[in-house]
Amino acid sequence: MSKFKKILAVLLLFPGVLCAQINTDRVMTIARNALYFEDYVLSIQYFNEVINAKPYLYEPYYFRALAKINLDDYVGAEEDCNEAIQRDPFVVSAYQIRGLARIRQGNFDGAIDDYKKALKYNPENTVLWYNMALCHIQKKDYIIAKEDIERLLEVSPNYTRAYLMRGEISLMQKDTITAMKDIDVVIKMDRFDADAWSMRAVIKLQQGKYKDAETDFNQAIHNNVDNSGNYINRALARFHQNNLRGAMNDYDTALNLDPNNFIGHYNRGLLRAQVGDDNRALEDFDFVLKIDSNDMMATFNRGILRAQTGNYRGAIADYTKVISKYPNFLTGYSQRAQARRKIGDKKGADKDDYIVMKMQLDKSYGISNGGAGKSKKKTADSGNKTRKKSNKDMNNYRKIVIADESEQDRKYKSDYRGRVQDKNVIIKLKSMYALTYYEKVSGISRSIHYDKFIDSLNHSNILPLRLLITDAEAPLTKDQIKFHFALIDAHTSAIVAESTSAPKRFARAMDFYLVQDFTSAVSDLTKSILLDESFFPAYFMRALIRCKQLEYEKSEQNGSRNSIDKASVQREVDRVDYDVIIKDLDKVISIDPDFVYSYYNRGNIFAMLKDYRAAINDYTKAIQLNPDLAEAYYNRGLTHIFLGENKLGINDLSRAGELGIASAYNIIKRFTDQQE
């Protein structure tokens, strides 16, 4: 009997071994669950099973391509799209994804061909027009790109990204006036579009309108506090207005967001040196030279700072390195002479002074010794306070660096649409809490979530790993997937030996859940509850899994027209479905009224149903039980805002920000504006 059940468990997991249609359909559903919830490695394994069983279907190849493209396997994604298209040449989304895979491999002509084919079947698809225009931009076919954008705007006149992209093309064509018109249209349509403010600010910066540029950068930063480039550029606007402290503050913020930013460190080092903060300026140039040890201007600046802080031998080493690269750099010999005198090397200093004197005499008589790293053609940096990063004229060593045009952050060149997990909704509730063994690693320190019963369950040795309470579940690695498949087999044997153990049923349910087999997981959780009605983790996880199933079903309804043209529209998801979930969470609360996460999760369900007052009551109860639960403040804050109670919402979001949810501040700024 035990052996039979083991075999049955394996067959349930690998329906390819069975010939029934239902089993392949079920594995396909599990695979798409895994894909939707970003468990890409696991989803690929399931799609492999379907392909092995029914290689004539296009869907598993298509969805496997989606998983691969999210794992940056562009070659594999293209091959899978080829297979899908071979089996059904009328699937628009297969051309769309193959086009994206080709773009990532630099095959823009191939991508354009795909988009043209897809547009024959779906001429009003904005994503296709958008990506095709971007491909033409990459090929510098600007006229054709603008034609694509015109068609896109006919389909979707309020698509702000299209106006910004057209403005970007105008800038590439040196038509600033036309670019500004498109950017102004976007700002009028959506004053919270940070990219539009940023683009306009950059143009004003290039025009020398530094005060106006700073004002626009202020608004861009107000709308998006996490873009380091805006701080770097605002620092430049402030520098030109002699606001050195303001510029340095911007570089500080930019480097907090992007610690490896070359221009940020270089320019901050120059400004620190200007205000006499030599030791910290040295730190910046040390960092720059770690990034690029052959940057001679950074080397020379570090040499000056070393000399000013008493490290004359280090300074001499830096000056010598520069002189060996640029033997006609007069200032280098002059600085090295001074440093050599400081260490008593009179002979070396005199030799450097002689070279300086000879070069000056040659210059007075019109004898050319060659440039000190000067560009052969006249550069636009002459006489300016700034230089392009590519400018190698050593006489510009004290100038602030700006990015070359080729290095500037042209967002719209690479902002291709089409990843399966792209989520356009910026403002959304924080995720529900789950019981799991794996949690995403975050750079921000997170609270350790604790419950007495869960802790005792962890000490019972029934579960294979320590159970965590988290809202940041991590997808499984290949080894973890193997491990949990093996555990299902082991737990099946344990259940046969002791069929009355609710925790053992729960243990297998957790394995089914982790491999995204939600149906089997719910079945085991239900059996666990029948064995022990007081075992509340089973109710809690059953509620969570059912909620995920409904979320997936809703995504299928919403995406059936766009993702897979032939996909069947799922049944309607209504209040009755959520009532079943709420009942499970009610049961958890009746068994353990102090289990804070049940109130929080139930609050999320009420918010999904737009029963905002009930949601606020649950979030409030969660906060009473755990005053440091940042996600409860965040979600309650958003719920207040949904009700138009912006002041209450902002107070909660402020507390969420204090507790570590940085995105709360961006929302605060947006809704503070709306109150004004």
Residue 189 lies in a domain: no
Task: Give the mean pLDDT of the chain.
Answer: 85
* Residue 241 · residue 209 · CB < 8 Å: no
* Residue 141 · residue 169 · CB < 8 Å: no
CA-to-CA separations, 250 to 239, 257, 265, 478, in angstroms, rounded = 10, 11, 11, 43
pLDDT at 559: 56
Q: Is the pLDDT higher at 603 or at 551? A: 603
Provide the percentage of residues in the chain whose pLDDT is more than 70.
86
- Kind plus residue range of the DSSP H or E element containing 469: strand 468-470
Q: What is the pLDDT of residues 492-511, one digit of tens each?
A: 887 777 778 899 899 999 99
pLDDT at 219: 93
Q: Is the pLDDT of residue 217 over 80?
A: yes
Residue 292 lies in a domain: no
Query: Which of 20-24, 157-161, 234-238, 528-532 bottoms out in mean pLDDT, i.e. has the lowest?
Result: 20-24
Confidence bin at 145 (pLDDT 50/70/90): very high
pLDDT at 421: 31
Residue 627 lies in a domain: yes
Q: Is the pLDDT of residue 490 over 80?
A: yes
Phi/psi of residue 436, each to 5°?
-155, 175
Query: Which of 20-24, 115-119, 243-247 bottoms out in mean pLDDT, i.e. has the lowest?
Result: 20-24
Q: Which of 385-394, 444-453, 513-522 has the largest mean confidence?
A: 513-522
Q: Which of 72-81, 410-419, 538-547 has the largest mean confidence?
A: 538-547
Confidence bin at 673 (pLDDT 50/70/90): low
Q: How many CA atoms lie within 13 A of 59 on its CB side?
A: 20
Three-point CA angle 349, 341, 284, nearest 5°: 100
Confidence bin at 672 (pLDDT 50/70/90): low
The C-alpha atoms of residue 513 and residue 541 are separated, in whole angstroms, by 9
The C-alpha atoms of residue 284 and residue 265 are separated, in whole angstroms, by 5
Six-digit token pair at 291?
């990034």
Q: Is the pLDDT of residue 408 over 60?
A: no
Residue 561 lies in a domain: yes
Query: Which of 17-26, 264-273, 276-285 bottoms out in mean pLDDT, i.e. has the lowest?
Result: 17-26
Average pLDDT (114-122) is 94
Residue 144 lies in a domain: no
How large is the C-alpha radius of gyration of the chain?
A: 31
Q: How many domains does the chain have?
A: 1
The C-alpha atoms of residue 585 and residue 611 are separated, in whole angstroms, by 16
Residue 618 lies in a domain: yes
The residues pairing with 439 across neighbouring beta strands, listed in sequence order, are 473
* Residue 165 · residue 130 · CB < 8 Å: yes
* Residue 107 · residue 129 · CB < 8 Å: no
Give SS3 for 296. Answer: helix
CATH number at residue 613: 1.25.40.10
Residue 366 lies in a domain: no
pLDDT at 571: 47
* Domain housing 470: 434-475+533-675
Q: What is the pLDDT of residues 357-403, one digit of tens each?
A: 988 887 777 666 555 555 444 444 445 788 888 888 888 889 988 87
pLDDT at 564: 40
Residue 570 lies in a domain: yes
* Residue 80 · residue 91 · CB < 8 Å: no
Give SS3 for 436. Answer: strand
The residues, ordered by sequence, that sit 6+ positions from 302 with a Cβ below 8 Å of its Cβ are 282, 285, 286, 289, 318
Q: What is the pLDDT of residues 573-606, one digit of tens each?
A: 566 688 999 999 999 999 999 999 999 999 999 9
